[in-house]
Amino acid sequence: MTNIHNVTVAGGGVLGSQIAYQSAFKGKKVTIYDINDQAVAAAEERVKNLRDSYKHDINATDEQFDAGLNNMSFTADMAEAVKNADLVIEAVPEKPSIKHDFYQSLAKLAPKDTIFTSNSSTYVPSTFAPDTGRPDKFLNMHFANQVWLNNTAEIMGSEQTDPKVFNEIVDYAKEIGMVPIVLKKEQPGYVLNTLLIPLLNAAAHLWGHDIADPETVDKTWMIGTGAPMGPFAIFDVVGLRTAFNITKEQQGDNPDFKPFMDKIQKMMDEGKTGKDSGQGFYTYPNPAFADPNFLKA
């Protein structure tokens, strides 16, 4: 068993709320911190809305789900959120300026022995280690969306990460029901996104340049590989804002991606931000790709 009992998740978005609840479901005392009361209320609602998924997907009972909820608290006060934290898991927006500011503030407030981990999808630990004030206790732990089903935790340290701290996070991942995916050196995108991003970029090109519509792309991928969903369904699950920010950060002013970015921006302006909002490339809770007839001629 690790010595990690009190956990703070910073950022209660789609994935942050899942990480927090999964930890609480497995018996940890968890606090979700977010930047204001409105964001905190939205995070609390996201957590409550996980009930049906846990019951349907892993046969959790209402009693078990409620026990997880009872392990949770929510606050917009960073000092209050981290005062007793053994571990802080950062899941704030994928923008370097936000992350730099967050870690510089966190370093002043967290106890000296608190371990910091980042759920960053694309940035390696050494990017933010100087901001933390404890590079030996800082590393990345990246989760896949729908953590209760896609239960990997990709763990990546920097050259400064204490091996004992690294191993404790590996053990923590196991304690909350994850399969640790251990990386031996820093790699932007870890294992999963190193494999996934080229697929999503290819889909972005096909739709952005009007070569094929999203359903055609997804249908092709699902039939050809046996995958349960295609790249545009994955965009919905990840959230279009996250997809937009990552693409913008990675591709910059690459003209090949401008048509895709313009189309995504238009969708977001219309409130279509993915599964979390009920509509993205598909309409939820009953998306077309989940219909057995979707893959038929």
pLDDT at 201 over 90: yes
Burial (Cβ within 10 Å: 0-12, 13-18, ≥19) of residue 84: middle
Report the range of poorest mean pLDDT among 120-124, 154-158, 167-171, 198-202: 120-124
Residues 182 and 167: their CA atoms lie apart, in Å, by 10
Angle at 44 between CA 101 and CA 50, to 5 degrees: 115
Burial (Cβ within 10 Å: 0-12, 13-18, ≥19) of residue 296: exposed
pLDDT at 171 over 90: yes
- Confidence label for 50 from pLDDT (cuts 50, 70 and 90): very high
Extract the tokens encoding 173: 């991942």
Mean pLDDT of 186-190: 94
Smallest CA-to-CA distance from 91 within 162, 37, 172, 19 is with 19
Extract the tokens encoding 3: 């010595």
- Confidence label for 46 from pLDDT (cuts 50, 70 and 90): very high
* pLDDT for residue 72: 98
* pLDDT for residue 155: 98
The pTM assigned to this predicted structure is: 0.82
- Confidence label for 122 from pLDDT (cuts 50, 70 and 90): confident
pLDDT at 250 over 90: no
User: 53: which residues sit within 8 A by CB, 6+ positions away?
Assistant: 146, 148
Instruction: Answer whether the bond into residue 285 is a cis peptide, omega within 30°.
Output: yes
- Confidence label for 200 from pLDDT (cuts 50, 70 and 90): very high
Burial (Cβ within 10 Å: 0-12, 13-18, ≥19) of residue 133: middle
pLDDT digit string, tens, across residues 123-140: 999 999 999 999 999 999
Mean pLDDT of 230-248: 92
Name the DSSP class of 133.
Answer: S
pLDDT digit string, tens, across residues 209-231: 999 999 999 999 999 999 999 99
- Confidence label for 251 from pLDDT (cuts 50, 70 and 90): confident
